[in-house]
Structure 1
Amino acid sequence: MSDLTIQRRRGTPAQQNQNPKRRRFSGRSRRDFFIFLAFALPNLILIGIFTYRPLFTNLQYSFLDWTLGSKTARNIGFENYAAFFGSDDAPRVLGTTGIFTLLTVGLSMVLGLLVALALNAKVRGTTFARSAVFAPYVLSGVGVGLVWMFIFDPGYGILSWFLRGLGMASPQWFNDPQLALTMLIIVYVWKNLGYCAVVYLAGLQSLPSDVMEAAALDGAGATRRFMSISLPLLSPTTFFLLITTILSSLQAFDLIRIMTPLGTGTSTLIYEVYLQAFGAYNRAGYSAAISVVLFVILLVVTVIQIRFVERKVHYA
């Protein structure tokens, strides 16, 4: 059989390349595509209506001089942004937001890892301890705030009663801006500690036991195994917690609203948005501009973490 006959049977290279294209747009592929649209399109529509539409509407409001409830608004461009960054409130609010986020994220993750190490021990009662540690995370922030207000109350609180028993005066937690922020950080860390502990516990239980046993046979102590093996292998868990806890801390609202309704020393960006729009000012356009600033900060922090921090994550 000649080479020409073999080439005719097989077809030219151009004809061979056309066959996959015909199969790609076959009836089954179209049917699968329409099934995908049937399931995904309603969700995409809902996301567009309830997520992206408010986002762009808020961006539009940030360029308006608009008082909440007023039927008229005036386009003023970037004056709301200039007014915020040019005011004395901007350094205070941004500084409070940074301190609150840094301390709550750092303390929650460090203490959560230590609690997870304790809960990972094979001793009696760990199931109850895990439930007790995780319980505050699922509780209502309003309820948690009310309980801790009673604890920190300088006149009738449990903490003041205990300090009076030691011959000490109770600090004015609610009147001192620095103490109010400290109080809020303590409560927020207590509430979210269980989340970090449970996630870290899942990461610890997924570590390869053969690697740990081999390191123990080589003479590595518990501290050396944790620092050299466990901690690097937990880097995906740490990266996940870093993103979620930062986003959660930057959007913390319920505890601030309940425990310090005036925002004295505890006014973060998101709470400043609330105060400007629904407080005594009713400055809806100015509040929208602050919320856009918060959105940009959230976006930048997330991109930085994914772009740079993820390089140090070991997916092994």
Structure 2
Amino acid sequence: MAWNRLRPYVMISPAIVIFCLFFIYPIGYMIYLSMHEWNFVSPDKQFVGLQNFTTLFAEREFVEVMQNTFTYTALTVSLTMIISLILALWLNHNGTVYSFVQGAIFSPHIISLVSVSMLWMWLMDTDYGLLNWFLNLFGLSNVSWLTDPSTSLFSLVIVAVWKGIGFNTLIFIAGLQSIPRDMYEAAQLDESSKLRTFWKITLPMLSPTLFFLTIISLIGSFQVFETISIMTKGGPINSTNTFVYYIYEYGFRYFKIGYSSAAGVLLLIIVGLLTILYFRLLAKRVHYR
């Protein structure tokens, strides 16, 4: 009898151990390091309390990093969701052409970010890039996509949207195909317009899909690292530096482990608060049939 009660806990114990070892412990140790000053070399860690956090907010560079991160996230998530939904509405049909386009749109998602970054670095090259060559055909001057502070962050948004729309589009298509056909038949009988049908049937029934994709896109945008590390290194003039790259830079280039850990704790808090806020505001508006 006792074994029957203990058996479920024994069965899930490996998962609990792995979760604690690779999730709970790193978070706890990061919080511990955020209250210390450590250079990664000396075994001694000096306790400084909340000094690393106060230093963070006193740094103008970090304020710019926060602005860049929120701007990048807002643009990437909104553009990816809008474009993906439009493509899904267009591709939600049977046919060889639609299947081919779906596969072509999804292909960037399976390409590594390193390869994607190298490709877009060539496309956005100021002198020899394909994008500027295309602009020159229309008599427009070259754009310094990655070397001008006014365009560099938006250039990274273009890369993120290009890579992300394929996955989101396929998930949206799956959501569209799960909507009962009889609802659209009832709308046709009522002579409802396509726009009204979209707002009253399609969008509400897609709300679980929208909810899921927005959450994962939001978290993924806050964690952007590879494209920045390869394409811009946070420049020019700190215009593309974001949270994760800032944490990496101060942790593994300047060896300010306590300072970078404080930035990591702050990132964890911000993402957690945004997720909770999103759930509180929109979870009740999600329709699960």
Alignment TM class, shorter chain as reference: over 0.9
Matched, 1:64 2:36: yes
Q: 1:96 corresponds to which residue? A: 68
Q: 2:250 corresponds to which residue? A: 276
1:199 touches 1:237 (CA, 8 Å); kept in 2? yes
**Counterpart residue type for residue 277 of structure 2:** I
Q: Distance in 1 between matches of 2:78 and 2:145?
A: 22
TM-score by length of 2: 0.95
Q: Deviations 1:114-137 (Å, cap 9, x if unpaired)?
A: 010111023432222111111111
Which of 88, 98, 116 is the matching residue for 1:116? 88
Q: Distance in 2 between matches of 1:262 and 1:247?
A: 20
**Counterpart residue type for residue 188 of structure 1:** A
Deviation at 1:180, TM superposition (A): 0.8
User: Residue 96 of structure 2 aligns to a residue in which SS?
Assistant: coil
**Counterpart residue type for residue 302 of structure 1:** T
Matched, 1:148 2:113: no
1:263 touches 1:271 (CA, 8 Å); kept in 2? no
User: Residue 215 of structure 1 aligns to a residue in which SS?
Assistant: helix
Deviation at 1:31, TM superposition (A): 4.4
Q: Deviations 1:81-102 (Å, cap 9, x if unpaired)?
A: 0000111123211111110000
User: Residue 71 of structure 1 aligns to a residue in which SS?
Assistant: coil
Q: 2:286 corresponds to which residue? A: 313
Matched, 1:295 2:272: no
Q: Distance in 2 between matches of 1:293 and 1:256?
A: 20
Which of 208, 213, 224 is the matching residue for 2:196? 224
User: Residue 245 of structure 1 aligns to a residue in which SS?
Assistant: helix
2:65 touches 2:242 (CA, 8 Å); kept in 1? yes
**Counterpart residue type for residue 253 of structure 1:** F
1:133 touches 1:193 (CA, 8 Å); kept in 2? yes
TM-score by length of 1: 0.87
Q: 1:267 corresponds to which residue? A: 241
1:253 touches 1:271 (CA, 8 Å); kept in 2? yes
Aligned residues: 287
Which of 65, 72, 80 is the matching residue for 2:52? 80
Matched, 1:158 2:130: yes
Identity of aligned residues (%): 35
Deviation at 1:73, TM superposition (A): 2.2
1:173 touches 1:183 (CA, 8 Å); kept in 2? yes
User: Residue 311 of structure 1 aligns to a residue in which SS?
Assistant: helix
Pairwise mapping of residues 13-92 of structure 1 onto structure 2 (< 5 A)? 27=1, 30-92=2-64
Q: 1:19 corresponds to which residue? A: none
Segments of structure 2 that go 5 or more residues without pairing to the other structure are none
Larger-Rg structure:
1
**Counterpart residue type for residue 72 of structure 1:** D
Q: Distance in 1 between matches of 2:201 and 2:128?
A: 49
1:119 touches 1:126 (CA, 8 Å); kept in 2? yes
Q: Distance in 2 between matches of 1:262 and 1:240?
A: 29
User: Residue 178 of structure 1 aligns to a residue in which SS?
Assistant: coil
Deviation at 1:283, TM superposition (A): 1.1
**Counterpart residue type for residue 37 of structure 2:** D
Q: 2:143 corresponds to which residue? A: 171
